Amino acid sequence: MNGIDIATIIVTLLGGLAFFLYGMNLMTSGLERMAGGKLESILKSASSSKLKGMALGCGVTAVIQSSSATTVMLVGLVGSGIMTLPQTIGMLMGSNIGTTITPWITGLSSLNGGSSSLDLLNLLKPSFFTPIIALVGIILIMFFSKKGRKNRDIGAICLGFAVLMQGMELMSGSVSFLSDKDPVTGELLYGDTFFKVIDVFGTPYIGIWLAFIVGTLFTAVIQSSSAATGVLQILVAATTILDANGNVVDGMGYQVVIPLILGINVGTCVTAVISSLGANSDAKRVAVTHLAIKLIATILCMIPFTVIDIIGLDFLNNVPSVWGIATFHTLFNIAASFILYPFTNLIMKLSYVLVKDKQDFSGRVAYIDPILITQSPAVAISECVNLTVEMCNIARDTILLSLDNLYSYDSKNSQIILDNEELIDKYEDNLGTYLVKISARSISDPDSRRVSKLLHTIGDFERLSDHAINIMMVADEMDRKKISFSEEAKAEIDVITLALREITRVTVDAFITNDLALARKVEPLEQVIDALIAKSKNNHISRLQAGNCTIELGFILSDLLNNYSRISDHCSNIAVAIIETSHNSFETHEYLNSDKNQSNPEFTEVYNKYAEQFKL
């Protein structure tokens, strides 16, 4: 091509596209980490109305700069049972509007200022402010990241934006040769081949649908409507031919640009469709609903546009500016959302027709859609917290039920205890798997502490249910053999059981509310329980020597008290995890040694209070 290095052009164009996509990913990840666990609660809060959901979907997408990320997140939330399809449909429409902000940002690369270095337009050009933003990002990451993950996240957002804009510059520069003209003849030097391709798209009726297909396929491949729209803006700007007076005389007209934009809007749905593969029926319906909204809106626009194209109205030959592309992209998505808004129930019914119910996850518990782990770790962590709360509630109920069985035996309760223990085992297995995967990803400091807290506690909750089983077996044995403890032993067990109920209640409440003051009461009570158990065992030996008890009952009592002791130990472990992870450390022995120290007035006060409340 007359000295033009095609290989260099292709490599530069693809490199610019790679920069754009990486920058977008870096920005989205940083913004999501800053939102942290709040993102799930924000999305869930939109369940009250579709209109509120639309506004929220628009806002969230505008902030994280990716409709694909928002949609994939919604697929994961519905797949995990956190949200329902009706709660998400408004947000799906809102995300289509929120994503239109990106072309307005990328359009800055087309600004041309005056000769003065202080010209306002020059200040707005990426070539001026991108290096400054990149420098800020590097400084935050290199010198301030140790002061908090927030600084690193802000730095990543700045670098992501800088990389994104640099990608736009690279792509723009790689295709700038298309508008080069011979200084003598005024003819295009290199862009003639490109315009021959564009002329094919200009073929009445067939051309616009071909352009639509190209836009769809290109966006489906790169999985970013923002990047595809940015590439379109660059091509339009690079191929716009001006005369000596600066008037537009040739270029890519609306006849080609509009169907390309419509295709881009449909192609972006592929990310949600791919993310729903392997998910349950409800998650698939979210992806199908998203695709249906885009397709219906596009068809409603393409049919009249085809008629206009056949008629051949003059405005179709007008060449849009980058701002014209951004304007049409925005107006189309706003109009589509509000036109289809009254028909959301029909669209949802369509998704139920297209996706039939299947028992994809029957019998599975503590399920988190893997999409959330990979696409939105912060939301996945929040759901892990919710599931661990469910787990600890089941563990508490199981312990209390086993204690009730000691006093009023019921074989039905024994079966419930066994079922609960099996259920808790599944919770631990699934949560442990998810948390390990999440901890391997880049997450914020608060989220990292939440993961650490969960990893340190789920094993203890599982062990609580194991000891509940052991207590249940004690009750089963005593009922089967029709034996019972002496009145003195019963009185001692009553006191220790009350203390065990109290430590279980305090531990669970402290975990659910993350109440550090409540958590600090656990260790003193654990020491009181240990002292009670030691005294009860000594009393049993005295009764045994006096002939007031049997060896068989002694073994049963020892087994029961040992399980009581282990339950209180696991409660102590959970309380330590709550306290230490709140301080971003996990020095268990250091904490316990400091709290057991008699010079600690707070510990001593709580210990004495419980010792007075529970005494033999």
Q: Identify the structural domains of the chain with CATH numbers, from first to last.
A: 6-354 (no CATH), 371-613 (1.20.58.220)
HSE-CB for 616 with a 13 A CA cutoff: 22
CA distances from 369 to 283, 354, 423 (A): 9, 21, 19
Q: What is the DSSP letter of 147?
A: G
The whole-angstrom separation of Cα 306 and Cα 214 is 16
pLDDT for the residue numbered 59: 84
pLDDT for the residue numbered 404: 92
- Decide if 77 contacts 372 (C-beta within 8 A): yes
In this prediction, residues 458-463 reach a mean pLDDT of 95
Q: Check pLDDT > 90 for residue 511.
A: yes
pLDDT for the residue numbered 365: 65
The whole-angstrom separation of Cα 391 and Cα 393 is 5
Q: Check pLDDT > 50 for residue 189.
A: yes
- The larger pLDDT score, comparing residue 167 to residue 513, is at 513
- Closest C-alpha among 101, 99, 105 to residue 129: 105
pLDDT for the residue numbered 362: 42
- The larger pLDDT score, comparing residue 532 to residue 254, is at 532
pLDDT for the residue numbered 386: 86
- Decide if 444 contacts 36 (C-beta within 8 A): yes
In this prediction, residues 322-333 reach a mean pLDDT of 91
Q: Check pLDDT > 90 for residue 507.
A: yes
Name every residue whose Cβ is closer than 8 Å to that of residue 435 and which is 6 or more positions away in sequence.
384, 451, 454, 455, 458
pLDDT for the residue numbered 116: 47
Split at pLDDT 50, 70, 90, the class of 599 is: low
Q: Which of 9-18, 386-395, 538-547 has the highest mean pLDDT?
A: 386-395
The whole-angstrom separation of Cα 420 and Cα 570 is 18
pLDDT for the residue numbered 117: 46
Number of H helices, E strands in the chain: 27, 2
pLDDT for the residue numbered 291: 92
- Closest C-alpha among 129, 156, 134 to residue 145: 156
The whole-angstrom separation of Cα 502 and Cα 489 is 20
SS3 299: helix
pLDDT for the residue numbered 361: 43
pLDDT for the residue numbered 184: 52
Split at pLDDT 50, 70, 90, the class of 121 is: low
Split at pLDDT 50, 70, 90, the class of 423 is: very high
Q: Check pLDDT > 80 for residue 351.
A: yes
- Decide if 583 contacts 574 (C-beta within 8 A): no
pLDDT above 90 covers a percentage of the chain that reads: 28
Split at pLDDT 50, 70, 90, the class of 545 is: confident
In this prediction, residues 412-420 reach a mean pLDDT of 92
Q: What is the DSSP letter of 297?
A: H
- Decide if 76 contacts 35 (C-beta within 8 A): no
SS3 188: strand
Q: Check pLDDT > 70 for residue 190.
A: no
In this prediction, residues 427-449 reach a mean pLDDT of 86
State the chain's mean pLDDT as an integer: 81
Q: Check pLDDT > 80 for residue 456.
A: yes
Work out the burial of residue 552: count CB atoms within 10 Å of its CB; fewer than 13 is exposed, 13-18 middle, 19 or more buried.
Answer: exposed
Length of the chain in residues, anyone? 616
SS3 242: strand
pTM of this prediction?
0.71
**Tens-digit pLDDT profile for residues 277-304:** 777 788 889 989 999 999 999 999 988 8
**Tens-digit pLDDT profile for residues 28-71:** 777 767 765 566 666 666 656 788 888 888 888 887 777 877 88
- Decide if 451 contacts 434 (C-beta within 8 A): no
**Tens-digit pLDDT profile for residues 353-372:** 988 876 544 445 667 777 77
